[in-house]
A and B are shown apart, each in its own frame.
Chain A
Amino acid sequence: MRYIMIAVAALFVFVGLAFAEGGSMKRKPLPFEFGSVVIENFSVNAGLSPVVFEHWLHRSKYSCKVCHVDIGFGMVAGSTKIRAADNGKGFYCGSCHNGKSKDNKKTIFEACSGKDSQKCGICHFTGRNPQREQAFAEFAENLPKERFGNGINWQLAEEKGLINPINHLEGISIARNALAVQKDFSLDAKIAGMPSIIFSHSKHTVWNGCELCHPDIFLGVKKGATKYSMIDLFQGKYCGFCHKKVAFPLSDCQRCHVGPIGQ
């Protein structure tokens, strides 16, 4: 009886510890959920559900730069504080969701126009949506597979021409010269036996441009001046800004640690 009591007490302690940090166990997002952002600034007060923004759908069509540099969406969920009126004026979501812009010759629905209340539920919906899950499954079916995140190797998908994200929105984006290709560089891993990181500027600038990362995310001016740790990254700093929530996750070690093994 005494052993049973100890075992039950130990079980309570372990369960208590497991739930202690966040109050509940965090579920690993399913492939179609990975990268989705819940935006709740004003919706609930307006009697609507928060917006669930699906990154997978938008990143298949537009580069990161178009939305986060040219349109001006912040990099942290809810930081932009988008209002329906902003969309109605043709900013933020309204840059494309204006009832005029086309996607594959199909008119993109107008966001927050107030004309058709049934359309609000396209974005303002937090419940399960089997149609969207099915749409993701069909989209991902023929794309190169990946172990984590959305289960899609986005980079390979673009290299193979299976997706072709638009990098310029007429009337919104600024016409810029093509970026000069910069050389890849190596970052030594701190743990012995761990392959070094090969950072490819070209792979990142093709979707992001310069100002998305510098200086807001990467402030360091001189190479090697900033010491990055995996703890920082898991806390959402540096690479973790994107590679925690939207781009392939940090748990996919072999995507970055591909260089020679350091000392």
Chain B
Amino acid sequence: MNNDKLPKVLYQVGAAILVSFVFIALPTDHDTGISLLCFVKPSQAAEESWKQEFNAVCSQTNDSMSLSREELQLLIVRCEKLKPVIEGQEETTRKVYGKRLEMCKNLLVFVLETKK
């Protein structure tokens, strides 16, 4: 093997090992031993993303009275950004999460009004 090409091969082997470690470190289905990453479709990942945002925003309703006006306004903007994403979901998801989001946003707007 040519000595000039050796570092390049080493880099490639190193990268492959690193990628393998990342896969091993990812959550694994304990029954099958298969990395759960194999089952995650791009659409699922996107769904998880909006749900995480929904949970992050609406988990703060219990704290809404102690939030500042700026914090409340920011949360309301995040609710408004979530609305079209939820409206793009399938019928039942849209109905359930649309209502939940509306209740969450309405409360934040209500608390903001109380602080005027």
Q: Please measure, in the bound complex, the distance between the C-alpha atom of A209 and the C-alpha atom of B95, giving whole angstroms.
A: 21
Which residues in chain B, 64-116, are within 8 Å of chain A measured between CB atoms? 64-66, 92-93, 95-97, 99-100, 103-104, 106-107, 109-111, 113-114
Q: Please measure, in the bound complex, the distance between the C-alpha atom of A209 and the C-alpha atom of B104, giving whole angstroms.
A: 11
Q: Given A72-B99, A210-B64, are A176 and B106 also a contact pair (CB < 8 Å)?
A: no
**B61 & A211 in contact (Cβ 8 Å cutoff):** yes
B20 part of interface (Cβ distance < 8 Å)? no
Minimum CB–CB distance from A153 to chain B (whole Å) comes to 27
Q: Given A86-B92, A89-B92, A91-B92, are A177 and B62 also a contact pair (CB < 8 Å)?
A: yes
Q: Given A176-B62, A180-B65, are A69 and B103 also a contact pair (CB < 8 Å)?
A: yes
A56 part of interface (Cβ distance < 8 Å)? no
Chain A residue with the shortest CB-CB distance to B56 = A174
Q: Please measure, in the bound complex, the distance between the C-alpha atom of A221 and the C-alpha atom of B110, giving whole angstroms.
A: 7
CB-contact partner of B62 in A209, A214, A216, A222, under 8 A: A209
Minimum CB–CB distance from A222 to chain B (whole Å) comes to 8
Q: Given A178-B62, A221-B114, are A85 and B92 also a contact pair (CB < 8 Å)?
A: yes
Q: Which residues of B contact A70 (CB under 8 A)?
A: 100
Q: Is the interface of B mostly helix, strand, loop or mixed?
A: helix
Q: Which residues of A contact B65 (CB under 8 A)?
A: 180, 182
Q: Please measure, in the bound complex, the distance between the C-alpha atom of A148 and the C-alpha atom of B55, giving whole angstroms.
A: 39
Q: Given A86-B92, A89-B92, A174-B55, are A215 and B110 also a contact pair (CB < 8 Å)?
A: yes
Q: Given A69-B103, A86-B92, A174-B55, are A209 and B110 also a contact pair (CB < 8 Å)?
A: no
Q: Which residues of B contact A176 (CB under 8 A)?
A: 59-63
**B100 & A69 in contact (Cβ 8 Å cutoff):** yes
Q: Please measure, in the bound complex, the distance between the C-alpha atom of A222 and the C-alpha atom of B93, giving whole angstroms.
A: 35
Q: Given A209-B62, A221-B113, are A216 and B96 also a contact pair (CB < 8 Å)?
A: no
Q: Which residues of B contact A178 (CB under 8 A)?
A: 62
Chain A residue with the shortest CB-CB distance to B90 = A89
**A215 & B107 in contact (Cβ 8 Å cutoff):** yes
Minimum CB–CB distance from B53 to chain A (whole Å) comes to 12
**A174 & B59 in contact (Cβ 8 Å cutoff):** yes
A92 part of interface (Cβ distance < 8 Å)? yes
Minimum CB–CB distance from B84 to chain A (whole Å) comes to 19
A179 part of interface (Cβ distance < 8 Å)? yes
Q: Please measure, in the bound complex, the distance between the C-alpha atom of A180 and the C-alpha atom of B60, giving whole angstroms.
A: 12
Q: Please measure, in the bound complex, the distance between the C-alpha atom of A162 and the C-alpha atom of B55, giving whole angstroms.
A: 32
Q: Please measure, in the bound complex, the distance between the C-alpha atom of A22 and the C-alpha atom of B60, giving whole angstroms.
A: 45
Q: Which residues of B contact A69 (CB under 8 A)?
A: 100, 103
Q: Which residues of A contact B62 (CB under 8 A)?
A: 176-179, 209-210
16 A–B pairs (Cβ distance < 8 Å), ordered by A:
A72-B96, A72-B99, A72-B100, A74-B99, A91-B95, A91-B96, A174-B55, A176-B60, A178-B62, A180-B65, A210-B62, A214-B106, A214-B110, A215-B110, A216-B103, A219-B110
- A residues sitting closer than 8 Å to B (CB atoms) are 69-72, 74, 83, 85-86, 89, 91-92, 174-180, 182, 209-212, 214-216, 219, 221-222
In the complex, given contacts A174-B55, A210-B64, A211-B61, what are 6 additional A-B residue pairs having Cβ atoms less than 8 angstroms apart? A83-B92, A86-B95, A174-B58, A210-B61, A210-B62, A216-B106
- B residues sitting closer than 8 Å to A (CB atoms) are 54-55, 58-66, 92-93, 95-97, 99-100, 103-104, 106-107, 109-111, 113-114
Nearest 4 CB-CB pairings of A with B? A215-B110, A211-B107, A176-B62, A211-B103
